[in-house]
């Protein structure tokens, strides 16, 4: 199944989509949520094309239309932002002052409603971004688990702060408090999970939110609108459907955004941060580009290495920020490595996302297959070749993975984050060359090291942990488990996201302090006993 005609046959013809995996009907979203109200949009709308194509009677293939959503502008983004500002009300709003136990109850209500929409949301993830059904289900379930874990973490955080501390004659109570209005934007590859990785902790810490869904992966939030509206007080979540380039710089230029939560590109993040009139006031929580390398040492277990590299490079078609995007293999085993990895690529199932066991599925648009082709042509023109048979063949959005060797400095594939089914391989003689690649990279998220010699691995880990934020030994790069810190250096991230770290990222410690005198003690006792403050209290959330 490696040439264009064969790939075309993998798309369904009319009436060949299994009925259980069809969308019940296209989703033509016209309402949006602002200040606790659903408003109806009567203006221009954008048609949503699925990565999944259908074979036509005339032999062509066409991306299927699965719905549409509003194309709003600055007036609507102003309204969404003003609603979030008003709900925050300079920290005096219902949500930022609400006791944490009540906020938790709202979030639990939201999760209950979300779980009821599982099937529809999973189906929309699959149809909007072409993620396999199994991975779409995994994304949904992992997100629910993340919310549940975050609720537990916020409970613990609050309970640990429910006491007074005394130091140097000063009584203090220290709690984490919200930052203000958060603009949340997630990526298309994990539209639900990565959006909620910032949105949920931001909400639980008492911030209000403007939420802009990603360009691909918009409709899947539609089944959650009712829950957004009913689970939280008015204006806590406000949505905007608009081209990012039009409304996002505009919202930042207003100076009303306190936190920019973006999982996207470093170029966009750099531009956006500069728009804020007082840049020191803007907090940024960013998950950005990455070009994670795998370093394969001469004594690596090749069977394990190939298995992990394949998963690392090609899970969800290589569209993971944590994907292995450059394989650096010791020259003594590069031929055997190439032989084995091309064989393993040849065994991957390519097809439609609902097919059991499928690995390679359609990319989000024709521009992505065009980019893959461009990157391969560039590498070929500069001396590399596609090693696997049929690598780089494509039909519309379906792209057959290509193992490209030898990749070297000057080729797009050497430095650019391909974010697709391309597997660049280079060989090295001295491990210093592999280290130099990581050091000279603009990215600093993770690396994988494959080998078994404790002396060599030990010596390699020490410089690598100061270049990236996670060194994976004999396994692919990945984000999880979600309680571990997910961070990056250089152009790869700002801030750390994990269940616990995200709660910190969206809050700041604030404290109440008084001299350690009988009068202060009486005052604080009275406030606590009579529940005069949500902040000064020693209550325990069970
Ligand atoms: O795209 C970036 C994701 O956070 C990667 O997550 O390693 O669990 O696939 P993952």
Tens-digit pLDDT profile for residues 156-208: 999 999 999 999 999 999 999 999 999 999 999 999 999 999 999 999 999 99
Residue of minimum CA distance from atom 4 in ligand 1? 479
How far, in Å, from the CA of 189 to the mean position of ligand 1? 9
What is residue 480's three-state secondary structure?
Answer: coil
Say which DSSP state 260 is in: E
Which atom of ligand 1 lies closest to the CA of 486?
4
Which of 189, 476, 479, 483 best tests ligand 1's pocket when mutated (most atoms within 8 Å of CB)? Answer: 479
Question: Is the shortest distance between the CB of 472 and ligand 1 below 6 Å?
Answer: no
The span from the CA of 411 to the CA of 418, in Å, is 12
Question: Is the shortest distance between the CB of 479 and ligand 1 below 6 Å?
Answer: yes
Q: For a pLDDT cut of 70, what percent of the chain falls above it?
A: 100
pLDDT grade, residue 14 (50/70/90)? Answer: confident
Compute the radius of gyration of the chain from its Cα atoms: 25
Q: What is the pTM of this model?
A: 0.97
How far, in Å, from the CA of 139 to the mean position of ligand 1? 10
Q: What is the pLDDT of residues 78-123, one digit of tens each?
A: 999 999 999 999 999 999 999 999 999 999 999 999 999 999 999 9
Instruction: Give the distance from CA 243 to its chain's centroid.
Output: 19
Helical segments of 481-529, H only: 499-505, 518-529
How far, in Å, from the CA of 323 to the mean position of ligand 1? 8
pLDDT surpassing 90 at residue 261: yes
Say which DSSP state 222 is in: G
How far, in Å, from the CA of 478 to the mean position of ligand 1? 6
For residues 331-346, give the mean pLDDT.
98
E strand segments, 84-158: none
Question: Is the shortest distance between the CB of 321 and ligand 1 below 6 Å?
Answer: yes
How far, in Å, from the CA of 503 to the mean position of ligand 1? 19
pLDDT grade, residue 70 (50/70/90)? Answer: very high
E strand segments, 56-123: 61-70
Question: Is the shortest distance between the CB of 276 and ligand 1 below 6 Å?
Answer: no
Angstrom CA distances, 119 to 99, 236, 298, 469, stand at 33, 26, 46, 35
The span from the CA of 395 to the CA of 391, in Å, is 12
Q: Name the least confident of 15-29, 330-344, 408-422, 428-442.
A: 15-29
Angstrom CA distances, 110 to 75, 116, 144, stand at 29, 10, 10
Question: Is the shortest distance between the CB of 320 and ligand 1 below 6 Å?
Answer: yes
- Higher local confidence (pLDDT), 24 or 335: 335
How far, in Å, from the CA of 319 to the mean position of ligand 1? 9
The span from the CA of 143 to the CA of 231, in Å, is 17
How far, in Å, from the CA of 538 to the mean position of ligand 1? 38
- Polymer length of the chain: 542
Which atom of ligand 1 lies closest to the CA of 479?
7
Question: Is the shortest distance between the CB of 103 and ligand 1 below 6 Å?
Answer: no
How far, in Å, from the CA of 424 to the mean position of ligand 1? 20
455: CB partners within 8 A, 6+ apart? none
Residue of minimum CA distance from atom 8 in ligand 1? 479
Closest by CA to 243, choosing from 271, 212, 285, is 212
Which of 146, 190, 191, 288 best tests ligand 1's pocket when mutated (most atoms within 8 Å of CB)? Answer: 190
How far, in Å, from the CA of 486 to the mean position of ligand 1? 10
Closest by CA to 151, choosing from 211, 214, 103, 223, is 103
E strand segments, 115-159: none
The DSSP bridge partners found for residue 70 are: 45
Tokens 């001469």 identify what position?
298
Sign of CA dihedral 116, 120, 125, 130: positive
Q: For a pLDDT cut of 90, what percent of the chain falls above it?
A: 98
Angstrom CA distances, 324 to 291, 302, 374, 464, 510, stand at 7, 16, 20, 16, 41
How far, in Å, from the CA of 264 to the mean position of ligand 1? 12
The span from the CA of 26 to the CA of 10, in Å, is 23
Structure tokens at 203: 């909400």
Which atom of ligand 1 lies closest to the CA of 315?
9
Q: What is the pLDDT of residues 277-320, one digit of tens each?
A: 999 999 999 999 999 999 999 999 999 999 999 999 999 999 99
Which atom of ligand 1 lies closest to the CA of 480?
8
How far, in Å, from the CA of 322 to the mean position of ligand 1? 5
459: CB partners within 8 A, 6+ apart? none
Question: Is the shortest distance between the CB of 190 and ligand 1 below 6 Å?
Answer: yes
pLDDT surpassing 60 at residue 126: yes
The span from the CA of 341 to the CA of 357, in Å, is 19
Angstrom CA distances, 77 to 36, 95, 182, 198, 490, stand at 15, 21, 13, 20, 31
Q: What is the pLDDT of residues 458-516, one digit of tens each?
A: 999 999 999 999 999 999 999 999 999 999 999 999 999 999 999 999 999 999 999 99
Which atom of ligand 1 lies closest to the CA of 187?
1
Which atom of ligand 1 lies closest to the CA of 197?
4
Question: Is the shortest distance between the CB of 189 and ligand 1 below 6 Å?
Answer: yes
How far, in Å, from the CA of 321 to the mean position of ligand 1? 6
The DSSP bridge partners found for residue 208 are: 181
369-376 long-range Cβ contacts below 8 angstroms, 24+ apart: 369/394, 369/396, 369/397, 369/398, 369/399, 371/418, 371/420, 372/399, 372/402, 372/418, 372/420, 372/421, 372/422, 374/412, 375/412, 375/413, 375/416, 375/418, 375/422, 376/402, 376/404, 376/413, 376/422
For residues 403-413, give the mean pLDDT.
98
pLDDT surpassing 60 at residue 2: no
How far, in Å, from the CA of 440 to the mean position of ligand 1? 23
For residues 356-375, give the mean pLDDT.
97
How far, in Å, from the CA of 165 to the mean position of ligand 1? 40
pLDDT grade, residue 24 (50/70/90)? Answer: confident
At residue 1, the pLDDT reads: 47
User: CA end-to-end span of the chain, whole Å?
Assistant: 57
Question: Is the shortest distance between the CB of 480 and ligand 1 below 6 Å?
Answer: yes
């Amino acid at each position: 199944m490696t040439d264009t005609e064969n790939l075309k046959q993998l798309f369904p013809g009319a009436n060949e989509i299994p009925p259980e995996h069809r969308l019940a009907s296209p989703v033509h979203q016209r309402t949006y949520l602002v200040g606790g109200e659903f408003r109806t949009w009567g203006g221009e709308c954008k048609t949503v094309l699925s990565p999944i194509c259908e074979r036509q009677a005339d032999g062509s293939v066409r991306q299927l239309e699965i719905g549409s959503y509003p194309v709003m502008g600055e007036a609507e983004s102003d309204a969404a932002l003003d609603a979030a500002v008003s709900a925050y009300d300079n920290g005096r709003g219902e949500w930022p002052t609400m006791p944490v136990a009540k906020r938790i109850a709202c979030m639990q209500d939201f999760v209950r409603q979300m779980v009821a929409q599982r099937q529809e949301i999973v189906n929309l993830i699959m149809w909007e971004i072409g993620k396999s059904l199994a991975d779409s289900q995994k994304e949904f379930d992992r997100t629910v688990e993340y919310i549940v874990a975050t609720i537990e973490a916020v409970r613990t955080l609050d309970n640990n702060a429910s006491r007074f501390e005394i130091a140097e004659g000063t009584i203090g109570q220290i709690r984490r408090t919200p930052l203000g209005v958060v603009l949340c934007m997630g990526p298309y590859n994990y539209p639900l999970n990565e959006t909620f990785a910032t949105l949920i902790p931001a909400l639980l810490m008492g911030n209000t939110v403007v939420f802009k869904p990603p360009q691909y992966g918009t409709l899947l939030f539609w089944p959650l609108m009712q829950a957004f509206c009913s689970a939280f007080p008015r204006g806590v979540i406000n949505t905007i459907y608009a081209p990012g380039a039009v409304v996002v710089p505009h919202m930042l230029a207003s100076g009303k955004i306190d936190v920019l939560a973006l999982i996207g590109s470093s170029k966009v993040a750099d531009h956006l941060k500069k728009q804020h009139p007082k840049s020191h006031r803007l907090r940024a929580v960013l998950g950005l580009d990455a070009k994670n390398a795998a370093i394969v040492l001469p004594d690596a277990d090749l069977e394990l290495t190939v298995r992990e590299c394949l998963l690392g490079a090609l899970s969800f078609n290589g569209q993971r920020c944590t994907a292995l995007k450059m394989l650096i293999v010791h020259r003594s085993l590069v031929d055997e490595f190439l032989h084995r990895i091309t064989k393993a690529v040849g065994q991957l199932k390519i097809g439609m996302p609902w097919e059991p066991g499928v690995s390679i599925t359609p990319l989000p648009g024709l521009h992505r297959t065009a980019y893959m082709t461009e990157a391969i042509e560039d590498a070929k023109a500069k001396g590399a070749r596609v090693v696997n048979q049929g690598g780089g063949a494509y039909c519309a959005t379906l792209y057959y993975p290509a193992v490209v060797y030898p990749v070297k400095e000057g080729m797009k594939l050497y430095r650019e984050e391909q974010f697709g089914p391309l597997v660049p391989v280079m060989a090295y003689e001295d491990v210093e060359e592999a280290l130099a690649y990581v050091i000279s990279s603009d990215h600093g998220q993770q690396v994988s090291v494959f080998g078994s010699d404790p002396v060599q691995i030990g010596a390699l880990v020490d410089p690598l942990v100061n270049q990236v934020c996670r060194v994976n030994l004999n396994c692919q790069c990945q984000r999880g488990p979600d309680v571990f810190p997910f961070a990056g250096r250089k152009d790869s991230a700002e801030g750390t996201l994990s269940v616990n770290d995200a709660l910190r990222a969206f809050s700041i410690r604030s404290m109440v302090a008084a001299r350690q005198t009988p009068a202060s003690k009486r005052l604080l006792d009275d406030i606590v006993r009579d529940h005069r403050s949500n902040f000064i209290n020693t209550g325990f959330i069970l």
